[in-house]
Structure 1
C-alpha cells in the first residue's frame, strides 16, 4: 500500500502505572524518538490533566524533547485541549515548536474527551461548552498567527489589538480536529481542517462518516488512532491486547454520557468486537488489518496506540510491525 494512501504513525499517552513520573516521561520521549528510527511518519502525543495515571499535561514540553532528538518525523499534538488552556500561550508555544522543529508540527486540537474531571478546575460546565470554547480558541489562534494585530470579541475570549510572537514556520499550520460531533464536521470543511478519530471510536460509524464527508467535501486529511499490540505469538498478543483495552477505561477514568459508550468499552464487549476496532495480533495479522483499514477508509494516517504500559514492550511491538510493514 502506497504512502499516499496510508501513512503510519504512533499515538502516545504518558501513562504512569508504576508511580514513577520521571521514568514515564522519559520513556514516552524515547518511544517517540525510536519511532523515527523505525520509519514511522508521525508521532502524536496526547494531553491529559489531573490524573495520576495519564500525566501528559505538559504537551509542548514533551514534543519539544522529541523534536530536539529527531529530524524528519512529523510531531502531532494529539490533541491540544484548547478549552482548558490560554489560547495566546498555546499560539506562542506551538509557533516556537514549529520553528525549532523545522516546520514539523501537526496541530491537533480537542475539547477534552470523556474526562469530566478535567473541566471542573477551569469552570467549564459541560462537554458542549468545552467544544464551543475549543472552536472559538482555534479561530483566535489562527488569526493570531496571520494578523499584525488581532481584535477579537467572542463569547469566551476578548482582546483588543493583541499580537503574539513568534509566528509558525509553516504557512498555513496543518490543523486537525479530534472531534466528529457537533459542528466539527461543518467547521472542518469550512476551514480545510483535518479530522481525527480516537482509539476507542467505532470503526463502522467512523467509516460511514468519512465516506459521507468525502462525498460532500471531496478529499480531506483524515487520521484514525487504533489500540495496537503486535507479538510474535498470535494468541498471546490477542490475549494481552484485548485485556489492555478492557482495562483502559478504568485506568483512564473515562466517563461517557448515556448512549455514547463505544462498543469496545462495553462491559460485555466480546473479543471479536474489540479486535474489529483495533490492530492486534502477530505481525502478519497486524499488517493485514492495517491494509484492510486502508481499503475501507481510503487515504488516511493510521496512528498506532500501544496497548501496553511496558514501554520496552511497546517499542518491541512497534518494531515488529515496522519490520513486517517494510518501514525499517
Structure 2
C-alpha cells in the first residue's frame, strides 16, 4: 500500500477536543484494517478547530491503540522545542512500540519567525509567478503561489511565535538541529547522550513546502522527504526536485524517497463528495486570515458565510487542488499526482464534519487504490 494518512485531529463545530481525540483513535484502528501504511499526526497551535497540538502525546495513544501501522509526526516543529526533547519523547514511544515510529520534522517554527520578520527573499518572484496564473503540468494543477504578506503583517502572529518559546530563546539553524537529532539517535553527540532515544529504531523524515532549506537538508543527509501539495501546491515540484538534486546516499537510504501530501474527500458519488467538502473553503479561510483553524463547519454554515471575491481568491489554490469525487475519480487524480511528482507514497488528509463520512472516505479510497 502506497497510501498513508495525515490526521490533524480536527474539532468539528458542535464537537469537543475529547470527541476529536476519540475519533482519531477510531480512525487509526480503521485505517490499519484498510491497509494504510502510515498514520501521521500534525502539530498545530492557536487553532480552535485542531486538537493536534502535541503530536508525541497523540502518537503514543495511537500506537497503543493499533498494532501494525506505522505512526509518526507530520511534523514536530523544532522551532518550538530542542532536538534533545524530540529525541527523548520519540525514544520513549519507540521503547514500547519498536520499529513502528516515524519522527517527522518540520521548520515551521523558523518559518513563522521569518514571516513575521518581513517579506521572504523570493517574494518578488512569487508575485511575478502569481500574475502568470495556473499551470497544468502533465495533468496536475499547479496554482500560483499564495501571498503571505498580508498575514505577515498581523501583530498576533509575532505574539504567538513568542508564546511558543521561552523568553530570549534562539532557534538554531535547521541543519544544526537535524544534525543534533541524528547524533543523539546514533549516540555520537559530543556533549550528551539521549536516554531514552539513543539507538531508537525511528525513521527520521523531513517535511517541506518548497525547494528551500528543508529539501536541501533532507537530501544532503540522505533522509526521506515529505512534500506538501495540500498546503503549498504551487511549489511541490520545486520541492521534490531540490530534494532529489541534493540527495546523497546514507545509512538510512540508498536512493531518494518522497511522500507527497494531498487533501481528498471520497464518497459513493461525485455529488455526495462535493456535498461533504462544502465546509473546506471556509475552514481554509480561517487559517489564511490568521485566526487559526476554526472548528470544521457544516456545509450549511459554510454556505451562510457572506463570501467576497477576496475570500474566494484567498482559498482558491487550496480548494482547486483538493481531490473530491467518487472513488475512481479521486484515485485517478491521485495517480496523476504520484506520476508527476514521482512520489513513492501519498499522504492523504481528509476532513468532513461527520466522523462516519471521513472513515468511509478513507475506506473507499483504499479499495479504489488497490483495484487494478
* TM-score category of the 2 structures, normalised to the smaller one: 0.7 to 0.9
Partner of 2:356: 312
Secondary structure of the structure 2 residue equivalent to 1:49: coil
1:92 to 65, 88, 92: 88
Cα distance per residue 1:183-220 (max 9 Å; x no partner): 22222221112222235344453124424543554841
Cα distance per residue 1:276-302 (max 9 Å; x no partner): 522210111011112112221223221
Partner of 2:132: none
Partner of 2:9: 14
1:162 paired with 2:204, answer: no
Partner of 1:184: 214
1:27 paired with 2:20, answer: no
Structure 1: gaps of 5 or more residues: 152-160, 257-265
Matches within 5 A, 1:42-191: 42-112=38-108, 116=157, 118-123=160-165, 132-147=172-187, 150-151=189-190, 161-167=191-197, 173-191=203-221
CA contact 1:110–1:179 (8 Å) conserved in 2: no
Q: 1:69 to 1:168 in 2, by over 3 A?
A: farther
- Distance of 1:167 and 1:311 partners within structure 2: 35
Give, in angstroms, the shift of residue 179 of structure 1.
4.3
Q: 1:184 to 1:234 in 2, by over 3 A?
A: same
Partner of 2:262: 226
User: More displaced, 214-223 or 295-304?
Assistant: 214-223
Structure 2: gaps of 5 or more residues: 113-156, 249-254, 292-309
Secondary structure of the structure 1 residue equivalent to 2:56: helix
User: More displaced, 303-312 or 176-185?
Assistant: 176-185
Partner of 2:343: 299
Give, in angstroms, the shift of residue 122 of structure 1.
3.1
- Distance of 2:267 and 2:75 partners within structure 1: 28
Q: CA RMSD in A?
A: 3.1
Give, in angstroms, the shift of residue 109 of structure 1.
1.0
Q: Calculate the TM-score normalised by the size of structure 2.
A: 0.70
Give, in angstroms, the shift of residue 239 of structure 1.
4.3
Give, in angstroms, the shift of residue 9 of structure 1.
0.6
- Distance of 2:282 and 2:316 partners within structure 1: 16
Q: Calculate the TM-score normalised by the size of structure 1.
A: 0.79
Q: 1:304 to 1:254 in 2, by over 3 A?
A: farther
- Distance of 1:168 and 1:316 partners within structure 2: 40
User: More displaced, 64-73 or 268-277?
Assistant: 268-277
CA contact 1:82–1:133 (8 Å) conserved in 2: no
Partner of 2:276: 240
Partner of 1:290: 334
Q: 1:215 to 1:109 in 2, by over 3 A?
A: closer
Corresponding pairs, count: 299
- Distance of 1:227 and 1:58 partners within structure 2: 22
